Structure 1
């Protein structure tokens, strides 16, 4: 079976019970995606599958077989690199939106999807108008949409500032 990650094809013939998280870290050598709780509660393992964010600890690698018309998986490494950071990666650095940095890859992947969801008009629980949420993201909207990603260091104000900067430019 073949799994596409960051535009590259990886062969997978391991245990069918292997999580996508473990496949990314062990088989692909992509250690940006972090194992936090391994129960889908912290968001450290957030990656993008076909542009939508998921907790990679809660899905099996075998479910993303490219040979079966599977998925395009993007990790934090696929969003940018040190020589060419994504807008969100650069904003996280600029706003010091990390302390220990453990949650940062999941936060950045989640924020990338958040901005795309807002552009597509997806409402959130706190959207004032569920029929027409618009592209404007209030601080409450950003907080709600990022609520699946925890930061033990408490860098939330800086994470919010980084997302606000990029979301404001995207709108």
Structure 2
């Protein structure tokens, strides 16, 4: 005997199944997708970047949650200036190949799935490699103030010379 409490779920499954056109489902073919998780956003018009980069603002910091979150797309060769964050920053690599460098350390190569925890008040830069677009999500606390923008990254620094 069927338990009555499961009846709504069984009805829902039956209704969903009847809505599928079986003739169309046989022709369905899985195709690889290169769809991006987030939109490219708007082109950044800023002296704090070298080359073209786009920002999709995902979360605006407010009085309740003081973290700003944005997806940044760098075209090949583009990068930020040196900069620091009073509370640090977290970078999540979504696509492509990019670079990250902290002042006084060597440049690191970032690939899909890499995560960087930037220390507070430590100058660093990040951006795309010369041959690949680079997409990242940046999580930045706004508790102790805004990003401090510093000098541009020289071509020699970018190349790691």
| TM-score range normalised by the length of the shorter chain | under 0.3
TM superposition score normalised by structure 2: 0.25
Give the number of the structure whose alpha-carbon radius of gyration is greater: 2
TM superposition score normalised by structure 1: 0.24
Greater share of residues in strand? 2
